[in-house]
Structure 1
Amino acid sequence: MKQIITDFFSFIKKPKDFQYSGIDKTYKWKVFFTLFIFNICFTIISVGIISVIEEFYPLDHKLDELDLSPLLMLLVVSILIPFIEEVIFRLGLRRKGILKRLFTVEKWSKCFSIFTYISVLIFALVHGTNYYFDNYWFLLLVPFLTLSQFASGFIMTYLRVQFNFWIGYLFHATWNFTAISLTILPNLFGSETIINKETYHLEIRENSPFQIKDKELIFSTNIDTIYQLETEGNKTEEILKAIHAENKFEPVSDYIDIKFTSEKGIPTDSLLHILETEGYIEKKAKTN
């Protein structure tokens, strides 16, 4: 493992288009899993840095706004996007095909480091567009927000050069699958809340992200009083928008179904307080 990490850092220091030619058929998988573990450790550090940044500069991730079913999102993020990115950023990092005609061995050797650094740099910085930003000072934060992409970019480049395109793609797909699954797993076993009062009946069910339903959203309000709210298959943020609470609260649970009925009605704030108390939503952090 130590030698694999040493060889990897040697590649970062001086990238070379040199393919593994040993006879150990398991070596590429040793490299794969060693660098996967390394990337996990590095990402933990990166997440810590991002958490510190969020204390001073609240971040909104565009992935949260994608109107896709969780299963479709899993397929897109872990299969389609990695393939597209590997083709764009790393397919051409071997002297093959047309590149063999355009570059002599000497020219390619001189240019390869530059091509590698440019590829990794652009790959990482492009992921800064995953965030919404409202001023150009945000650009100063992008290198810190994309530290994980810098590391994984070098890893996938190393795998692509040392072995082949497909093992680099497999790493990318496996990494994205792991990351998106970890965001989904907490919701797999959704909680349930049932409250029966003299003045209202409320049922709240947290959905499994793999449970695909037809969307339904019915509500009845009068000024700040709510009489009926029935939802199915909607994102929590969509429910908050429907009752005009998106500026005050944000989702903790991505998908919830609500069945609320009250003849006399209750204040909308009271319903939101229940959702907050039960842990389905939380108040937005105040920003300056």
Structure 2
Amino acid sequence: METIAINFFKFLKNPKEKFNETLYLKEKWNLLFSILLLDFILVIIASGITSLIDLHLFELKSDPLEDLFSNKAAFYIIIIAALIVPLIEEFIFRLFLNYKRNFVFQFFDAFTNNKAKLFWDKHFKKIFYLAAILFALTHLTNYSNTNTLFYILAPLIILPQLIGGLTLGYIRLKLGFFWGVLMHGLYNLILFSVAILFLNITSLTKTTTVDYSLEITKLELGLNKPVALETYKTGAKIDSIIVNNSTVKEVATVLNATDTTLLKNSNRINIRFINKTDINNVETLILNELKKHFK
């Protein structure tokens, strides 16, 4: 592991397209898993910076990503994240790093007497880093933020993806295109499996009084189809309100909210409200609680 990490950092000092050594299958698997582990270690460190930005400067809103995976079964999410996305992204951002697969440069070579190849060899280091940077920059679309500070801090926000672009580029050149797809797929498989199993639900409110009980949880991934807000009444009295996998804006609309912040928020939530006595301002109570967490 230590030797592999050292070789990787040496490679980053002067990226090259070709490697002279021949690796056996066992050595290839060892290299793959060692770089995957190194990737996770570096990404965890870089994610600490992203978390500080999210906690202390401004909220990083990942609405587009949530919309993509919401209301899907866990199996469907894994198929997209671990198979389809890696294949597409590796095809776009790293297939061309091997000159034999770079059909654009080869096309220009046919008309420029191999000047495109000379340019490629001379500037390969820049091309390699440009591919990693472009890969990272596309992940800015994971967020819906548009404030100026977001773009100023963009290099720090996409640092985890930049690290991924570098490690995946190394594996693509060292082992081949499909090994890069495999590593990308394994990375996403582990990441999304952990998210689904352990990080999917965050408790926002859990209040129990003599008058009522209210529990609100936030969903990172809205698994399966949502259930519309259900209100149970005895006459005019609201006995309970149940919400499963609905967006804040959907709930706010049903509860007749006027707060535009809530009416635009796409975070997914569960709500369990039980009326123990005879309080009649239930909608206001729930909306006020939502305002505390979704400003």
1:178 has 2:190 as partner: yes
The correspondence of residues 1-288 of structure 1 with structure 2, limited to 5 A, is 1-19=1-19, 21-54=21-54, 55-62=56-63, 63-66=65-68, 67-71=70-74, 72-97=76-101, 98=103, 99=105, 102=108, 104=114, 106-186=118-198, 212-213=224-225, 215-219=227-231, 228-234=240-246, 238-239=250-251, 242-243=254-255, 244=257, 247=261, 256=270, 258=272, 260=274, 264-268=278-282, 269-271=284-286, 283-284=292-293
The structure that is helix-richer by fraction is 2
Given that 2:248 and 2:268 are in contact with CA atoms closer than 8 Å, whether structure 1 keeps it comes out as: yes
Q: 1:144 Cα shift?
A: 0.2
Q: Describe the shift of the 1:133–1:254 C-alpha distance in structure 2 as closer, same or farther (beyond 3 A).
A: closer
Higher relative contact order (CA 8 A, sep 6+): 2
Q: 1:31 Cα shift?
A: 1.4
Q: 1:23 Cα shift?
A: 4.3
Q: 1:246 Cα shift?
A: 8.4
Distance 2:135 2:143 in 1: 15
Q: 1:255 Cα shift?
A: 5.1
For structure 1, list consecutive stretches of 5 or more residues without a partner in the other structure. none
| Equivalent AA in structure 2 for residue 9 of structure 1 | F
Moved more, 99-108 or 18-27: 99-108
Given that 1:237 and 1:254 are in contact with CA atoms closer than 8 Å, whether structure 2 keeps it comes out as: no
Q: TM-score, normalised by structure 1?
A: 0.75
Q: Describe the shift of the 1:37–1:210 C-alpha distance in structure 2 as closer, same or farther (beyond 3 A).
A: same
Given that 1:20 and 1:162 are in contact with CA atoms closer than 8 Å, whether structure 2 keeps it comes out as: no
Q: 1:202 Cα shift?
A: 7.8
| Equivalent AA in structure 2 for residue 69 of structure 1 | K
For structure 2, list consecutive stretches of 5 or more residues without a partner in the other structure. none
Distance 1:129 1:206 in 2: 22
| Equivalent AA in structure 2 for residue 123 of structure 1 | F
| 3-state SS of paired residue (1:3) | helix
Moved more, 182-191 or 46-55: 182-191
| Equivalent AA in structure 1 for residue 32 of structure 2 | F
Given that 2:71 and 2:226 are in contact with CA atoms closer than 8 Å, whether structure 1 keeps it comes out as: no
The percent identity for this pair of structures is: 26
Distance 1:206 1:185 in 2: 14
| 3-state SS of paired residue (2:36) | helix
Q: 1:17 Cα shift?
A: 1.0
Q: Deviations over 1:101-140 (max 9, x none)?
A: 6555654322322221111111112212222223333211
Q: Describe the shift of the 1:262–1:113 C-alpha distance in structure 2 as closer, same or farther (beyond 3 A).
A: same
Distance 1:263 1:246 in 2: 31
Q: Describe the shift of the 1:238–1:24 C-alpha distance in structure 2 as closer, same or farther (beyond 3 A).
A: same
- Alpha-carbon RMSD: 4.1
